[in-house]
Amino acid sequence: MHPRTRRTAQALGAAAAATIVSGVVEGTTGTSTETVSALLVLTCLGLFVALVVLLVGDAARALRARRLPGRPGAGDPAVAAALAARARRHESRALAQRDPLLARDLRIGRPDLGTAYDDGGLVDLNSAPPEVIARVCGIDLAAAAGIVATRCAVGWFGAVDDVFALGNVPLPLWDRIRDRAVVITG
């Protein structure tokens, strides 16, 4: 519930409670039946208005969430697929870090070798050829060839960021590479 809606409902509820209390106090001091009845009607009306405010606020929020295109959970299949692939990449990286031998057996980061395991679209910078690195990371072949040349010169990468520290990869490509790259050691 939105904080403003919650505050409004709390204020209306407090007003209704105050009306009830004042009606009880006046009722015990000998006020007429009409006054108590009027207070009871006002209390019921206040509670009804509070309920309507809560329901309208929740309904409006639900409609806004459905109308915003591309918002996660808004029902856009492309967004759902991209988020699922991102989650698979995250899981696959964690698996590769925990168990590099299993990662090699599953061929994580090697889409060119064919695999039954869905790694979300990763490429292993320690073993993939430049054409595969270029295709998966969405970079030009020259930059991918530079990554492979650096790999050959240093032996292997211990982390994805080693590519940037040791190689000559242009800064605008770093995020693309980080999103899709994994380094499997061992």
C-alpha gyration radius of the chain:
31
The pLDDT value recorded for residue 70 is: 47
| Tens digit of each residue's pLDDT (9 = 90 or more) over 135-154 | 999 999 999 999 999 999 99
108 pLDDT exceeds 90? yes
Looking at the chain, the number of H-run helices and the number of E-run strands are 8, 2
| Tens digit of each residue's pLDDT (9 = 90 or more) over 49-85 | 666 666 677 766 666 666 555 455 557 999 999 999 9
Question: Would residue 32 be called left, alpha or beta, if left means φ above 0 and alpha means ψ between -120 and 50 degrees?
Answer: beta
Assign 12 a pLDDT band (cuts: 50, 70, 90): low
| Tens digit of each residue's pLDDT (9 = 90 or more) over 115-125 | 889 999 999 99
Q: Is the dihedral of CA 46, 48, 49, 53 positive or negative?
A: positive
The structural domains of the chain, with segments of one domain joined by +, span: 3-67, 77-182
Helices 33-67 and 3-28: angle between axes, nearest 10 degrees:
170
| pLDDT mean over 34-56 | 69
Q: Is the dihedral of CA 18, 22, 25, 27 positive or negative?
A: negative
| Tens digit of each residue's pLDDT (9 = 90 or more) over 157-185 | 999 999 999 988 999 999 999 999 999 99
Task: Give the chain's mean pLDDT.
Answer: 83
